[in-house]
Amino acid sequence: MADPLIQLRGVSVRFGRQQVLRNLDLAVEPQQTVCVIGESGCGKTVTLKLLVGLLKPTAGDVLFEGRRVSDQSETELTKMRLRMGFLFQQAALFDSLTVFENVAFGLRAKGGFTEADIRTRVRDRLTEVGLTAAAEPKMPAELSGGMRKRVGLARALALDPDVMLYDEPTTGLDPIMTDVINELILRTRGRRPVTSIVVTHELRTVHKVADRVVMLEPLARLTPDEPQVLYDGPPAGLATATDPRVREFVEGDAARRIGAEE
């Protein structure tokens, strides 16, 4: 087994009085595609933001290539972030910039590219996500939800990251566009040796792209001694998981919960 590229060791996160993650352990190997699933509020997005250093754990360690993220200087942290692409839930495109400028942003910020290089790279990335040059001058407000996600993906891929982090990449999209995004995640992995972590509610995405699935449970539904990870294994094992809470999530069955609340 390869050394983990990304590792969470006993990580807890608390916002004020609300604890979101408790003693979470997770190790992701290079070139693995891990889907993190679970109900809203279980800490999926918080986990992604910990990995990229946007949030700091209240306790425990987040490691990238064996080094603690919290020990890194600002320069090192910036270098680490430039090796990670992040596709945000609503794409987070910069409103005041065109599609071209959005995709070129990271290249210009990093420096060392000529304008011709930038133009070529932006065109390549937009083509990679199925967009033409006609999209380049458009403003984000003119784009549909699916196009915004694709531009966000092109922007995240512009710097050829080693790690791709997807935060609910298919939420709010129609079934066709959901499949387009799933396909793009697969192609991205096929084109380059990238490690991917996909946070999602969408089981079609899980079955299509994941090598491994990790299911988290909101702490409010757990007793103090229960682990937060309900399932950690291949996607095929979800349907036959021994924990009834995993099967309920997979089947979308809330009958037991509604019965309990009544």
Closest of 77, 97, 99, 199 to residue 143, by C-alpha: 99
Instruction: Provide the minimum distance between the beta carbon of 104 and other proteins in the complex, in angstroms, as a whole number.
Output: 11
**Which H or E element spans position 11?**
strand 6-15
Contact 118, 132 (CB under 8 A): no
DSSP code, position 196 = E
Of 5 and 93, the one with the shorter C-beta distance to other proteins is 93
Count of residues making up the chain = 262
How far apart CA 139 and CA 100 sit, in angstroms, is 9
Shorter beta-carbon distance to other proteins: residue 146 or 161: 161
Other Cβ atoms closer than 10 A to 236: 10
Q: Edge to edge, what strands does the sheet with 163-167 contain?
A: 84-87, 163-167, 195-199, 33-38, 212-216, 229-233
| Closest distance to other proteins from the beta carbon of 236 (Å) | 33
Query: From the CB of 89, what's the least distance to other proteins, in Å?
Result: 7
Q: Is 56 left (phi over 0), alpha (psi -120 to 50) or beta?
A: beta
For residue 186, the surrounding DSSP H or E stretch is helix 175-191
Nearer to other proteins, 96 or 240 (CB): 96
The minimum distance between CB 49 and other proteins, in angstroms, equals 7
Q: Where does this chain bind other proteins (CB under 8 A)?
A: 16-17, 49, 52-56, 74-75, 77-79, 81-82, 84-86, 88-90, 92-96, 105-106, 109-110, 155, 159
Which residue, 17 or 132, has its beta carbon nearer to other proteins?
17
Strand partners, 86: 165
Q: CB-wise, 79 or 204, nearer to other proteins?
A: 79
- Residue 14 CB, shortest distance to other proteins, in Å, is 9
Q: How far apart are CA 129 and CA 187, in angstroms?
A: 9
> Which one, 112 or 224, has the nearer CB to other proteins?
112
In the complex, least distance from residue 88 CB atom to other proteins, rounded to whole angstroms = 5
